[in-house]
Amino acid sequence: MAAIPIDGTALARTLREGFRDRVTALAAAGHQPGLAVLLVGGDPASQVYVRNKVNACAAAGLLSERISLPADTGPEVLLARIRELNADPRIHGILVQLPLPRHFDETAVLDAVAPDKDVDGFHPENVGALVQGRARFIPCTPYGVLRMLEHAGVNPAGQEAVVIGRSNIVGKPMALLLTARDATVTVCHSRTRDLRCHTRRADLLVVATGRPRMVTGDMLKPGAVVIDVGINRGADGKLCGDVDYESCREVASRITPVPGGVGPMTITMLLENTIVAAERRAGIRS
């Protein structure tokens, strides 16, 4: 029997509707949530991501400020803009769109964002808090995955979970969050010797590699829950994930599509984190 898809678009819509009252209450109290998005250079994919984030803010009643800087911007200029935003009371969340041009030290840039405005959850202070199980901001993509699992009634406790990918923004925080929810977690990466032997025993498989359709149905345990984080654009211009949807849906019990899976949830959790930051500033949340 074919797997039941987990519809990220529908869940994102429901969650965003739920934000409306919180945003209205904050705005009435003089704390309209505000997100600043910094983009350096003209990478087309980044421009699309930034536009989607700014549009999502507007639709949810958040203030958004898009700051576009030319590709040859010096690191000091970007750091100075971040310091201004750190001090700006209208701004509750700051996002630096990655990747930055090569002459930037990404770590130094991300470290410059004030931890209480770090709605991506990438600042080392926030990463440390996440490791200790007392996260202030959960990184948006793995946070979105958790909410999808919750919505689909999938409880990670006691399950064999396999995460393919160990990036700071997806794989590592995903593994930490699943561990905190009592899954037994294996992290695989490009040096993993026998990937299939790990995926074949996964009750829950999260794939975040950037390798189009690399996980195929024959690599799955029957009945597995499969979460595809990947977003790849094929030569035909169409989006596809890191999972081969057609073969995997024949073996899995639940599966996320691409597009329409994790992608819309990532932006939704960015809105959620920005609203939370504003609620903290307003003193209605710790």
Does 193 help bind ligand NDP (rule: CB under 6 A)? no
Among 135, 99, 94, which Cα is nearest to 111's?
A: 94
Q: Is 8 in the site for ligand NDP (CB under 6 A)?
A: no
> Shortest CA distance to 230 belongs to which of 202, 252, 209?
209
Among 114, 195, 239, 282, binds ligand NDP (CB under 6 A): 195
Q: Which stretch binds ligand NDP (CB under 6 A): 22-30, 58-66, 173-181, 224-232?
A: 224-232
- Kindly tell me which residue out of 34, 61, 139, 165 binds ligand NDP, with binding defined by CB under 6 A: 165
242 touches 215 (CB < 8 A): yes
- Strand (E) or helix (H) holding 204: strand 204-207
Residue with tokens 């310091």: 83
Torsion of CA 151, 50, 166, 184, to 10 degrees: -10
Q: Which of 166, 198, 213, 249 binds ligand NDP (CB under 6 A)?
A: 166
Segment 228 to 257, residues that bind ligand NDP, using CB under 6 A: 229-232, 242
Active site residues: 53, 97, 120
Q: How far is Cα 255 from Cα 2, in angstroms, rounded to an integer?
A: 10
Q: How many residues bind ligand NDP (CB under 6 A)?
A: 27
Q: Which stretch binds ligand NDP (CB under 6 A): 34-42, 111-119, 148-156, 262-270?
A: 262-270
**Structural tokens at position 5:** 């898809």
Least Å distance between CB 118 and ligand NDP?
16
Q: Of 40, 109, 162, 164, which one interacts with ligand NDP (CB under 6 A)?
A: 164
Which 77-96 positions form the footprint of ligand NDP (CB under 6 A)? none
- Which positions from 135 through 154 interact with ligand NDP, judged by CB under 6 A? 141
Q: Give the count of alpha carbons within 13 A of 277, CB side only.
A: 30
Q: Out of 208, 248, 252, 269, which residue is the one contacting ligand NDP (CB under 6 A)?
A: 208
Q: Which two tokens stand for residue 134?
A: 């007392």
- Strands of the 4-5 sheet, one edge to the other: 4-5, 254-255, 225-228, 204-207, 160-164, 184-188
| 34, 41, 93, 263: residue in contact with ligand NDP (rule CB under 6 A) | 263
* Contact flag: residue 56 with ligand NDP (CB under 6 A): no
What radius of gyration, in Å, describes the C-alpha atoms of the chain? 19
Give the integer Cα–Cα distance in Å for 146 and 156. 9
Question: Which residues of the shown chain bind ligand NDP in the complex (CB under 6 A)?
Answer: 141, 164-167, 169-171, 188-192, 195, 208-211, 214, 229-232, 242, 262-263, 266
